[in-house]
Amino acid sequence: MPDILPEAPMSIDSGELVRWYAHAQRDLPWRRPGVSAWQILVSEFMLQQTPVARVEPIWLAWIDRWPTPSATAAAGSAEVLRAWGKLGYPRRAKRLHECAVVISAEHGDVVPSDVETLLTLPGIGAYTARAVACFAYGARVPVVDTNVRRVVARAVHGRADSAASVRDLDDVAALLPADATAPTFSAALMELGATVCTARAPRCGLCPLSRCQWRSSGYPAGTVVRRVQRYAGTDRQVRGKLLDVLRDNSSPVTRAQLDVAWLTDPAQRDRALDSLLVDGLVEQTADGRFALAGEGD
């Protein structure tokens, strides 16, 4: 009786994916030739939790104005917060500015290329460090965002989706091709999740993968419950309204000027303002008015 060999774990055919990426990738400005590691890093900061369409114009204006870490470092905090515009989560702008200061002062104005050093920089976590090492320097490292996690959950593990796990990096590292196509494979995996294998309605008819465990299992229902993030009425919205007032004024404003930005719930407005002060995005002048960080003198 012939031996029954254990079934090989499902993998992803890197050739299929890389060939698809060659013609299907979106033409994004930070992917074009000549874009520096710093400019790629800026795009990664901006793309955290913000869609490509909103990032693109802000990124283009940003790198035109501040093409290097030292140029960004030389800008004032308030200028940086203004240029961040309505990208949201403005703490990212502050951290990006701090990151620019460290790179220009301690790394010769050159973005470090290794993950360990990148992880020491302000605002850079596990995802961004590996994304910069991979996309700017071609490092063979696993890059795991929600899109990648979802594609791997479906194609490899036969699950509809997957919550973040400490095993994610090892899981994706095991899929990386051993040759020089590894960085392209990483970019392609992310692109597939962003454009084809989307969370709500995967377009399997356009998928380049000939093998997908979730598809071949008949699309079993998922168990991961995703909360839909509300924006209207949240403290985030109120913080944004208060920052809008400060961005529109080049000199400090009174409390009354801020108060009219959110009349719905004064307690919520106070809480939002306190949090902006604690985050260092807003400062108070000696006479009690309010300004963007760096403009309160």
- Site map 223..262 versus ligand SF4, x via CB under 6 A: ----------------------------------------
Q: Three-state SS for 96?
A: helix
- Residue 202 in contact with ligand SF4, rule: CB under 6 A: yes
Query: Minimal distance in Å, beta carbon 187 to ligand SF4?
Result: 16
CB 63, CB 42: distance < 8 Å: yes
CB 169, CB 144: distance < 8 Å: yes
Q: What are the angstrom distances between the C-alpha of 5 and each of 2, 8, 9?
A: 9, 9, 12
Question: For ligand SF4, which residue of 124, 143, 155, 188 counts as binding (CB under 6 A)?
Answer: 155
- Residue 152 in contact with ligand SF4, rule: CB under 6 A: no
- Residue 204 in contact with ligand SF4, rule: CB under 6 A: yes
- Residue 212 in contact with ligand SF4, rule: CB under 6 A: yes
Closest CA to 292 of 159, 110, 94, 145: 94
CB 25, CB 188: distance < 8 Å: yes
Q: What are the angstrom distances between the C-alpha of 133 and each of 112, 126, 265, 266?
A: 8, 11, 45, 45
The two three-digit tokens of residue 151, written as one number: 């594609």
Q: Does residue 79 carry a catalytic annotation? A: no
Of 200 and 230, CB closest to ligand SF4: 200
* Beta strand 282-284 pairing with 290-292: antiparallel
- Residue 133 in contact with ligand SF4, rule: CB under 6 A: no
- Residue 189 in contact with ligand SF4, rule: CB under 6 A: no
Query: Minimal distance in Å, beta carbon 54 to ligand SF4?
Result: 25
Query: Minimal distance in Å, beta carbon 198 to ligand SF4?
Result: 8
**Cα gap 190→75, rounded to integer Å:** 33
**Cα gap 40→13, rounded to integer Å:** 27
Candidate list 44, 191, 283, 295, residue with the active-site label: 44
Question: For ligand SF4, which residue of 81, 87, 196, 272 counts as binding (CB under 6 A)?
Answer: 196
Closest CA to 217 of 158, 152, 273, 272: 158
Query: Minimal distance in Å, beta carbon 195 to ligand SF4?
Result: 10
Closest CA to 71 of 109, 33, 124, 42: 109
Q: Select from 23-31, 104-112, 162-170, 210-218 the region that touches ligand SF4 (CB under 6 A).
A: 210-218
Of 81 and 207, CB closest to ligand SF4: 207
Give me the active site residues, please: 44
Query: Under the rule (CB under 6 A), what is the footprint of ligand SF4?
Result: 151, 154-155, 196-197, 202, 204, 207, 209, 212, 214-215
